[in-house]
Amino acid sequence: MKIVVVGGGIIGCATAYELARTGCAVTLLERATPGAEASGAAAGMLVPLGETARSSFETLAIASWRLFPQVAKDLRERTGIDVEHVTRGTIYPLFTAEEIRRAEARAARHPGEEFGIAAWDAREVRDREPALATNVRGALFVRGDHWVNNQRLVAAYARAAVAAGVLLRSGLSVSRVVVEAGRARGVVADGERVDGDVVLLAAGAWTGQLVGSFGGRLPVEPKRGQMFALTHVPPVLHHVVHAEDVYLVPRPSGELLVGATVERVGFEGAVTAGAIAGLLRAALELVPALGDLAITRTWYGFRPWVPDGFPVLGPWPGVDGLWVATAHFRNGILLAPITARLMTAWITGGKPNMDVRDFLPDRFATAH
């Protein structure tokens, strides 16, 4: 089967890799370089549990989270790239008695070993992460909230894809999907027609424009996230620290990532003074010692989002051979391994290998 994948973000690269492993002839089209947009801009946190009862989203997220140890090992063996899969857990600092009560209730609700949820008192917080501000009165600790270096993960998936036989064509911008007699036949990229039996659109926040090219409608839009990084030498933090208005991600490679805004500003590509000031203020209130660290870089990305917040996965209704995998919003890195496997099983085998009802594209296709 000849497959054209549009978009060299984490979803496109991971899915191209899995498709090639099953013997498909895959061409991966990326208008810049792999991971140039949201996948490279992310922080790489792998947080599978929601705060409320188990949803279909959480089931998908947990399934993907469980794949990471094997994915990291497999990619390292195939490419030599260490994706920095860190499993030390995330601290959610708490400031009020009510927050501490809620954290204790949540820890009691999730007694299972796998995610290791615990409520810490102020002394335990001080012992485990001494740099946290003294007004932190406790913490919810989730040992199962891991993180990876997302730039390395995209690079590793892209490299593994090429090694598995994927034809990666970077610097090629897809303008439209070719649909003839109700069937996708390929795409047009910089004036060149690239043919395929199957077309998979994995172009993140830009997927709606491609769907629009044949008269379809998918209300995917960008949610800008701004971030910055500090030189983290010597390290101040050992865990991810995730508060209401800021998160801090210590990377083995010597950076501390500070994020992130969630803004509805269309494709306005800018790092703004106000956003960085807000993140800095929140970060320094939480960990005063960060004030001595050098700022190394700032950046933004456009998370792909649809109004119900769920990913959009599956066949495009009314066009044979056309598939979509996008709208992973704040969880594209976490959801990449399961999305890649699900889409591969579905495209090559004709059936999804899990419950996908909440993710189907036709929930939007009927809305116009």
Kindly tell me which of 245 and 355 has the beta carbon lying closer to ligand GLY: 245
Nearer to ligand GLY by Cβ, of 45 and 49: the residue is 45
Closest CB to ligand GLY among residues 8, 44: 44
Token reading at 35: 């991971």
Contact by Cβ (8 Å): 131, 289: yes
Q: How far is the CB of 46 from ligand GLY (least distance, A)?
A: 9
Element (H, E) at 52: none
Q: Which two tokens stand for residue 206?
A: 């830009």
Q: Give the whole-angstrom CA distance, residue 248 versus residue 256.
A: 7
SS3 assignment, position 77: helix
- Residue 78, burial from CB neighbour count under 10 angstroms (0-12, 13-18, 19+): middle
User: Which letter does DSSP use for residue 232 in this model?
Assistant: -
Q: Closest separation between CB of residue 219 and ligand GLY, Å?
A: 19
Q: Which helix or strand (DSSP H or E) is residue 270 part of?
A: none
Least spacing, CB of residue 150 vs ligand GLY, in Å: 9
Query: From the CB of 186, what's the least distance to ligand GLY, in Å?
Result: 33
Report which of 65, 145, 146 is spatially closest to residue 110, judged by C-alpha positions: 145
For ligand GLY, which is the closer residue by CB, 27 or 90? Answer: 90
Number of other CB atoms surrounding residue 190 within 10 Å: 13
CB of 26 or CB of 333, closer to ligand GLY: 333
CA–CA gap between residue 158 and residue 4 (Å, rounded): 15
d(CA 151, CA 269): 19
Contact (CB, 8 A) for 317 and 362: yes
**C-alpha span between 203 and 185 (Å, rounded):** 18
Output the smallest distance, CB 77 to ligand GLY, in A. Answer: 27
**Of residues 259 and 315, the one with the C-beta less far from ligand GLY:** 259
Q: Which is nearer to ligand GLY, 42 or 49 (CB)?
A: 42
Rounded Cα–Cα distance for residues 355 and 59 (Å)? 9
Phi-psi region of 22 (alpha: psi -120 to 50; beta: other; left: phi over 0): alpha
Q: Give DSSP secondary structure letters for 80-105.
A: ------B-S-EEEEE-SHHHHHHHHH
Cβ atoms of residues 55 and 308 within 8 Å: no
Report long-range pairs for 54-57 (Cβ below 8 Å, ≥24 apart).
Answer: 55/358, 56/310, 56/355, 56/357, 56/358, 56/359, 57/309, 57/310, 57/311, 57/358
For the bound state, the minimum distance from the C-beta of residue 192 to ligand GLY, rounded and expressed in Å, comes to 35
Binding site for ligand GLY (CB under 6 A): 42-43, 45, 225, 259-260, 303, 330
Shortest Å distance, C-beta 280 to ligand GLY: 16
Closer to ligand GLY by CB, 207 or 331: give it.
Answer: 331
**Least CB distance to ligand GLY at residue 335 (A):** 11
Nearer to ligand GLY, 29 or 334 (CB): 334
Q: Which residue is nearest to ligand GLY (CB)?
A: 330
Shortest reach from residue 69's CB to ligand GLY, in Å: 20
